[in-house]
A and B are shown apart, each in its own frame.
Chain A
């Protein structure tokens, strides 16, 4: 992955700071008098892979939904590439994959991916056929979602999130509903897919290993109300194969993330 500069040169030659991919400024969110998220500040630079970990119900999904414009903060502000999230969605800069695959049941795998392109009207986007083939779904192109296994559905779902080349990818526990072995394989697979691009990714997960395997930084969220309790940098090599994941450095990172998670969640 090439080093991504956060500064650019504008038309009159002055160096200007380009906006970060995501800027969350003192965001709080309440649902019916219950405070779910309390004053979160978070900046994601372009090209980063951020993992958000925390216990179920800590508000990490809510934070992700606010970044995609599906929910509004009760206070504070969120900017995606310097704009409100709604403006980023209308510019088709965001791709989202949820825990449960959100596929149109009446359309085949290939048609689902094509439909995403049609709605976004992206010209410079990827070829859906090539993308699904690259995802190992060459045999399943013309199957309906109910004819696909859970792992295949999730790969189609992620293909739908990627096909229009969004600059920001939001993944909400995309492997949470899958069995252990399928999940491990898909994590490897996703790491390979995303290494090839310089896309900014925000991943919500409750798996510490998954977070450390995929991300460049891990944020640990506390429970009710959700705050950022800790930040862990992951200075591992870009390719995190089996060997890297057996290394002392990897295991130390997992251990410190797990400690931070335990510290963040009172008994």
Chain B
């Protein structure tokens, strides 16, 4: 296995007369090699907190995060993150942004740019190497962000609602692109989303999270991305009876959990 979250809890200490808040409660999660694990849930269910734990930005109050058998003690290039937006550096052009991680690790310009160009090509950004990133569309900016995270060759790629700010049509194209790249690079991915359809389409494993306290309420194994990668058009996958049935079931679960928690 690549990464393991072992019985991790996050508790925000009591403040100003309020009791302590349990943001995450006893999370167990295993990311096997080449898994595409999707975390789905309403706002406030602790998805981002879980990602921050795995990324090493946040230390668990109890439990631990293990990466290849070693405990995670902070952020590192073996777990690079793709954010929803605002994460690119506007003073750098596309190539410099993509090579940013490698430069931080002390790679020389020549070597860093060679790797960067490979991923620029992979993400379909060829011809835009010298463009300023602020001149790109939202979809292209996200592709730069993904390319940048991939150049670090992370053990686990963490994606925090990477497509949340895109328009619906661009978003579907980006889903397909990410799946193809996931297949080509054989990465292990942890992916957060609000969209049930996106979660079902993209993941090999789905965790549905529930708020107050944040916990993993349900787990599913999924095979829709495999269908797509085997050649079924994305829309046909998403319109299949099996897909729609599961989509409605997951939605039912989420709404039921919400009512229960409220």
Bind each other: no
Binding site for B on A (CB under 8 A): none
Binding site for A on B (CB under 8 A): none
